[in-house]
Amino acid sequence: MSAAPTLSERVLQGDPRAVARAISLIEDEAPQGADVVRRVFAHTGRAYLIGITGSPGAGKSTLVDRLIGELRRSGRTVGVVAVDPTSPYSGGAILGDRVRMQAHVADPGVFIRSMATRGHLGGLARATAEAAQVLDASGKDVVVIETVGVGQDEIDIVRTADVSVVTLVPGSGDEVQALKAGIMEIADIFVVNKADREGADRTVASIEALLSLDAYGDGRWRPPIVKTEATTGKGVADLMAAIERFRAQTAATLGERRRARAEFRVRELMAHRFVDYVGRDVLGAGEFAAMLDRIAARETDPYSVVDEIFGRAIPAAGRAGAALDHIGIAVGDLEEALAFYRDALGLEVDAPETVASQRVRAHFIPAGAAALELLEATSDDSPIAKYVARRGPGLHHVTLRVDDIRASLARLRDHGVRLIDETPRPGAHGSLVAFVHPSSAHGVLVELKEAKEAKEAKELKEAKEAKEAKER
């Protein structure tokens, strides 16, 4: 007997009730919502995302309804996420959109969902993007996202789409100017809807005037302007054709666009989660308010407050210099050492790693942000074997992690410090290491270490810089 399918499995099977439930969880910022996104993510990226934005009442929903018709006629399934400007007076237009798209409510190839604009702690853009992902994972060929274009939130939503359609109406010449800075920049296609009304051509002309400021060289896409009458359907086929043209012409750069989107999303999630964590686990009740009071009273400044928060949230953050990486302990009998550290103290010991250059086996024991390193000689001429023979087992060295080991060594040399290693050599876990002589470090053997990640990041940066220098 097989277990009942999970919510994410049902989403992947295209079950509309599961899709509705998943989107509700995302809207409520429930952890199960994030869980569904995690589970279905590998199955996303198939659907083409169309963003439709424009001022309130521009006819977006009517237009989307017509687009659904076009898409269905061409045999494609459609998901719609409509973001409603929930007004405090009417209590929302959720029903409005459903009524406008009513023709398709009974069609199993269509799923329409309204999202309220209010009450999203973590950002409406994220909830919308995730709802679109759920629809994508459920197998819809095209996902349309309708949103009112006013603020940053909406611009972020439009960025969620593979193609952005900006809807204007006759008489919005002034609006065209006003929109210039924001939403105009992200328009891939302009629609002048309500073309049955007086002044449609003037609106087209004012968009033209803006577009003519840009030469659109190098085969760059020049946003076309399509006149539509959503109520009658006139021009909607032209809009569909413009979308298909855009899709074909930008197919090669779609991956890039989606990658930029992923970057935006990850950065946003990271910021959201950090702020959340600080509020919940770092600052005590009322402490944030007290910090703000101190800023208001000019007793401190915003930079100092953020420094303090970072210092407490991530103790290693923001401090220049080096972090304690680990303390090396020379071991005579490994079994006896493990009997103490692992069995008696109850610490977890990582799988050993052999460092050939030192003829030792290293057993790391994570301890907070740093670690203990039990060092076992693998040969009698190993420095550890000699150390144990001479002084017995015990503290052997202290390892400090630095960002740039070569820069650190150069600095030490400048200060007349005696080095054991003049140049770095390979250490455990793909790192670079170098030892400072105990005679220069007050009787302590100090090891400097540049972690593999820092090394790789630097190499990547250097390669990129070299490539850029060559291209110049």
Ligand X SMILES: Nc1nc2c(ncn2[C@@H]2O[C@H](COP(=O)(O)OP(=O)(O)OP(=O)(O)O)[C@@H](O)[C@H]2O)c(=O)[nH]1
Other Cβ atoms less than 10 A from the Cβ of 381: the count is 8
State the nearest-atom distance from the C-beta of 128 to Mg ion, in Å: 14
- Report helix angle 124-137 to 16-27, nearest 10: 160
Range in contact with ligand X (rule: CB under 6 A) among 50-58, 252-260, 291-299, 358-366: 50-58
Among Mg ion, ligand X, none, the one that 56 touches (CB under a kind-dependent 5 to 8 A) is: ligand X
CA distance 105 to 22: 19
126 binds ligand X (CB under 6 A): no
State the nearest-atom distance from the C-beta of 114 to ligand X, in Å: 9
59 binds ligand X (CB under 6 A): yes
- In the bound state with ligand X, the residue whose beta carbon lies nearer, of 100 and 396, is 100
CA-only gyration radius of the chain, Å: 31
148 binds ligand X (CB under 6 A): yes
Question: H/E/C letters for each residue in 204-222?
Answer: HHHHHHHHCCCCCCCCCCC
Residue with tokens 């198939």: 46
Which of 21, 126, 194, 449 lies at the binding interface for ligand X (CB under 6 A)?
194
- In the bound state with ligand X, the residue whose beta carbon lies nearer, of 59 and 223, is 59
- In the bound state with ligand X, the residue whose beta carbon lies nearer, of 36 and 80, is 80
DSSP codes joined into one string, 67-94? HHHHHHHTT--EEEEEEE---TTT---H
Among Mg ion, ligand X, none, the one that 104 touches (CB under a kind-dependent 5 to 8 A) is: none
Range in contact with ligand X (rule: CB under 6 A) among 1-9, 52-60, 340-348, 366-374: 52-60
- In the bound state with Mg ion, the residue whose beta carbon lies nearer, of 61 and 203, is 61
193 binds ligand X (CB under 6 A): yes
Tokens representing 294 are 């101190």
CA distance 212 to 176: 14
State the nearest-atom distance from the C-beta of 148 to ligand X, in Å: 5
61 binds ligand X (CB under 6 A): yes
Task: Report H helices in 229-333.
Answer: 236-249, 254-277, 287-296, 302-313
Tell me how many residues contact ligand X (CB under 6 A): 19
151 binds ligand X (CB under 6 A): no
For residue 303, with 0-12 CB atoms within 10 Å meaning exposed, 13-18 middle and 19 or more buried, which class applies?
A: exposed
User: Which one-letter amino acid corresponds to residue 77?
Assistant: T
What DSSP element (H or E) covers 400? Answer: strand 394-401
User: Which one-letter amino acid corresponds to residue 108?
Assistant: P
Which of 5, 28, 38, 56 lies at the binding interface for ligand X (CB under 6 A)?
56
Binding mask of the shown chain, residues 48 to 77, with x at each position contacting Mg ion by CB under 5 A? ------------xx----------------
CA distance 199 to 171: 6
State the nearest-atom distance from the C-beta of 146 to Mg ion, in Å: 6
Q: Which of 369, 364, 365, 330 is nearest to 346 (CA)?
A: 365
Q: Which of 333, 338, 336 is nearest to 350 (CA)?
A: 338
Residue with tokens 């002048």: 192
User: In the Cβ-directed half-sphere of 316, how many Cα atoms lie within 13 Å?
Assistant: 12
196 binds ligand X (CB under 6 A): yes
115 binds ligand X (CB under 6 A): no
Binding mask of the shown chain, residues 210 to 239, with x at each position contacting ligand X by CB under 6 A? -------------------xxx--------
CA distance 353 to 376: 10
- Contact (Cβ atoms closer than 8 angstroms) between residue 235 and residue 226: yes
CA distance 368 to 16: 46
104 binds ligand X (CB under 6 A): no
165 binds ligand X (CB under 6 A): no
- Contact (Cβ atoms closer than 8 angstroms) between residue 239 and residue 165: yes
144 binds ligand X (CB under 6 A): no
- In the bound state with ligand X, the residue whose beta carbon lies nearer, of 29 and 196, is 196
Tokens representing 426 are 């390979």
Range in contact with Mg ion (rule: CB under 5 A) among 30-38, 89-97, 259-267, 283-291: 89-97
100 binds ligand X (CB under 6 A): yes
- In the bound state with ligand X, the residue whose beta carbon lies nearer, of 198 and 218, is 198
State the nearest-atom distance from the C-beta of 82 to Mg ion, in Å: 6
Range in contact with Mg ion (rule: CB under 5 A) among 93-101, 174-182, 231-239, 293-301: 93-101
State the nearest-atom distance from the C-beta of 317 to ligand X, in Å: 44
- In the bound state with Mg ion, the residue whose beta carbon lies nearer, of 60 and 401, is 60
Among positions 217-236, residues that touch Mg ion (CB under 5 A) are: none
- In the bound state with ligand X, the residue whose beta carbon lies nearer, of 8 and 114, is 114
Other Cβ atoms less than 10 A from the Cβ of 343: the count is 10
Query: Where do contacts with Mg ion occur on this chain (CB under 5 A)?
Result: 60-61, 97
Residues of this chain that interact with ligand X (CB under 6 A) are 54, 56-62, 85, 93, 100, 148, 193-194, 196-197, 229-231
